[in-house]
Amino acid sequence: MSAKFLRAYRRLAFAGIAVACLPIVTTGCGNVYMSEESKSKIRSIEINPNVTIPDRPDVDGPVDALSNFLLGFLTGGSSLPPQIGYEFGVYMDAHDIKVDQIVLRQFRRHLNEQGHFELREGGDATLELIVLNYGFKMPMFDITKNMRNPSLNIRATLRSKDSTVLWSNFDFVMQGSELTHAYRIQALLADPRLVERSLEEASCVIAYLILSDLHPVRPSSHGSTGEPPGGPICDPVYPQEQTFRGVVQNVRV
């Protein structure tokens, strides 16, 4: 499976994709691609342990599902859920749920699993991670409005020892994604472990998508170029895993 196909499949599954760059206006939406010269020189990477995160999450709170269902049935519209990002952030802090550490673990895991670069302190280059936004958002067209998908947007930048940007990429999951599970907001508010697991799932998928663009393509012993590794191994991963894998298998040569 190519990383380009996986990314295209994921983004086509999202409604409202045009708004993807809105929360990252200050950092830009462009990517920086690694040169062939840099690819040949970089053998090891260290990850900066200081992952930048927003002050609080972006979370759509609970609403009266019955009232919204009736309003949607009668008028075709419904009230928007309240924003409870501050309260949810306090809840996460109280249960020691740290988004920066979740993201750091998943990126370390995927770098180790891919094996294209040695992960160590004092590496040839340093990977910097910024969480541009995160939270739990209402899936579009959900008239009950109480299911929530994890929402996560991450930018990764690889710098040389003299701080030159060698490579940069961003990716995201958002409401409506078929690559993550949705949970009732009441369940998330009642079970901090569910919050942590959901954010781990989203971070796992993004780490795969971003890092699959980073590793160099090296020729095999018979002269052909290697393909990126298979899809992410996340637990849990896809709500419709068999369907997704079937689509991927059908497009592979």
- How does pLDDT run across 211-237, given as a tens digit for each residue? 887 774 444 444 444 444 444 557 544
Residues 6+ apart with CB under 8 A from 130: 27, 51, 52, 154, 155, 156, 157
Strand 44-47 with 118-119, pairing? parallel
Does 108 have pLDDT greater than 60?
yes
Residue in 138, 129, 130, 128 with CA at minimum distance from that of residue 58: 138
Whole-angstrom distance, CA of residue 13 vs CA of residue 218: 31
pLDDT tens track for 83-98: 999 999 999 999 999 9
Q: What pTM does this model have?
A: 0.75
DSSP state of 183: E
Residues 6+ apart with CB under 8 A from 77: 71
The C-alpha angle 14, 9, 231, rounded to 5 degrees, equals: 120
Residue in 145, 142, 110 with CA at minimum distance from that of residue 127: 110
Whole-angstrom distance, CA of residue 18 vs CA of residue 20: 6
Q: What percent of the chain has pLDDT over 70?
A: 67
